[in-house]
Amino acid sequence: LRKEIPTQDTLNPIRRYFRSRINYSNEQVKLFRKEYWPAFSLFSVFQTRGSGFNANYATDQTSFSQSYLEGIAPARQNYLIGTGVTWNLTTIARSSKKVSAQKLISEGLQEEYKATDLELRTRENAANARLEYAMQNYLEAPKQVAAAAQAFLQRTTLYNNGLTDLTDVTTALYVLNRAETDRDIAYNNVWQALLMKAAATGDFDMFLNEF
């Protein structure tokens, strides 16, 4: 484990979810407001046709072609370009009500986001406090084990030289075992606190990167 406490503050997925709902609702408001304005349209028509009759057919009844290809060849074209405007004034009142209703939905989502954000911040603060306390114990535990091991070695040396009794040795061994147990518990508490912080922030990489 690294000795420093992770301080990365990423955006929790729960926050991203609620923010996306707020953004969607705000976009709906913009969409409903566009219904206030008229709708413009642009259209065009192009037409062409062929004819097997020549221009002097009225005076010369034989002035035409019997060829199919000459008859369908485009000879005259017509086109039309125009614009249109549609503005239903009755939709303004309906759209205004839709905008007002959607604004209320956005405000409700904002309040829901604030409540969720407060809850997540409370969890993050609790996780940070627990992790800090666990790290302090984690850093102190090896010192306690070293001190207990040194005391056990001294008692064993004194016992081997007849300067103390077995009770002192047994007591020193108990203290050493207790210090080692506390060290293991401290290590486990750090992992639990780190997992708690990862869950609170929504960033599980800070936990997985320790492996």
Report how far apart, in Å, the C-alpha atoms of 78 and of each of 42, 48, 75 are: 18, 6, 10
Residue 76 lies in a domain: no
Provide the mean pLDDT of the chain: 84
Beta bridge partners of 42: 83
If you compute the radius of gyration of the chain from its CA atoms, what whole number of angstroms results? Answer: 42
65 or 154: whose pLDDT is higher? 154
pTM beyond 0.85: no
The rounded distance, in Å, linking the Cα atoms of 149 and 8 is 37
The rounded distance, in Å, linking the Cα atoms of 8 and 47 is 67
Residue 102: count of CB within 10 angstroms of its CB? 19
Residue 128 lies in a domain: yes
Give the pLDDT band (50/70/90) at residue 122. very high
Residue 145 lies in a domain: yes
CB 128 within 8 A of CB 5: yes
Residue 50 lies in a domain: no
How many separate domains does the chain show? 1
Tokens of residue 38, six digits:
């008229």
Phi, psi dihedrals of residue 77, rounded to the nearest 5°: -130, 145
92 or 5: whose pLDDT is higher? 92
Model pLDDT, residue 79: 83
Angle (CA) 35-38-40 rounded to 5° is: 120
Total count of residues recorded for the chain: 211
Helices then strands, counting H and E runs in the chain, come out as 5, 2
Give me the residue label for tokens 């039309």. Answer: 80
Mean pLDDT of 48-70: 66
Residue 114 lies in a domain: yes
pLDDT at 181 over 70: yes
Residue 74 lies in a domain: no
Tokens of residue 204, six digits:
């599980």
Give pLDDT tens digits for 103-115: 999 999 999 999 9
Handedness of CA 88, 92, 98, 99 (dihedral sign): positive
Give pLDDT tens digits for 193-211: 998 888 888 877 777 777 6
The rounded distance, in Å, linking the Cα atoms of 17 and 113 is 9
184 three-class SS = helix
Residue 136 lies in a domain: yes
Q: Which domain holds residue 137?
A: 11-37+87-209
* Range ranked top by mean pLDDT from 34-48, 53-67, 128-142: 128-142
Give me the residue label for tokens 């091991």. Answer: 149
Tokens of residue 48, six digits:
């062409």
Residue 80 lies in a domain: no
Model pLDDT, residue 9: 42
CA atoms within 13 A on the CB side of 110: 8
